[in-house]
Amino acid sequence: MLIITTELRDRIVAHARADHPDEACGVVAGPEGSDRPERFIPMLNAARSPTFYEFDSSDLIRLYNEMWDRDEEPVVIYHSHTATEAYPSRTDVSLAKEPGAHYVLVSTRETGNDDGPYEFRSYRIVDETITEEEVRFVDAY
C-alpha cells in the first residue's frame, strides 16, 4: 500500500496538468528504508512527448547523487498519461528498475490542463510483473 499525503498527491496532479499535453515525470524521495514519500522532485520530460517520458540522464545522475548525500531513496516514481488510463505501458514496465519504488501514474486524459476528474493509481513493478496497490491519502505522517 502507498501512503502519501494529500499535499504530495495534489502537487503530482498539478505537475501532470501543467505539462499536458506532454507526459510529466518526477520522483518523491524519502528517508532510506522508510517507504515514506516526503520530498517532491518534479523532473523535465527530456522526450517532451505526449506518449513517452524520459528523465534527462544528467538530471537523473544529479538527483541520485543528491539523494545519496541526504540518505534518501526514490519512494515514488511518477509520470502521467495524457490520452490513456493510468496503467503502465510495456515501455513503462521496461523502464521500471527500482523494485522498492511505488510507480504512480496520473491520467489527465479527461480534463487535460483543467481541473476535474483524473486517475491516480500506484503499482509495484518487479521483474516486469505489475501489481496494482491501494493508495491511502493522509493529511500528515
Model confidence pLDDT, tens digit, residues 43-59? 999 999 999 999 999 99
Q: What is the mean pLDDT of the chain?
A: 96
Measure the CA–CA gap between 119 and 10, rounded to whole angstroms. 12
Identify the domain containing residue 10 by its residue range.
Answer: 2-138
CATH of the domain at 50: 3.40.140.10
Total tally of structural domains belonging to the chain: 1
Q: What is the pLDDT of residue 132?
A: 98
Q: Mean pLDDT over residues 90-106, rounded?
A: 96
For the entire predicted model, the pTM comes to 0.96
For residue 52, give the 3-state DSSP assignment: coil
Sign (positive/negative) of CA torsion 54, 57, 61, 63?
negative
CA 36 to CA 24: how far, in whole Å? 22
Q: What does the alpha-carbon distance between residue 53 and residue 106 come to, in Å, rounded to a whole number?
A: 13
Distance CA 11, CA 106 (A): 11
Check residue 12 and report its DSSP letter.
H
Q: What's 73's DSSP letter?
A: E
Confidence of residue 22 (pLDDT cuts 50, 70, 90): very high
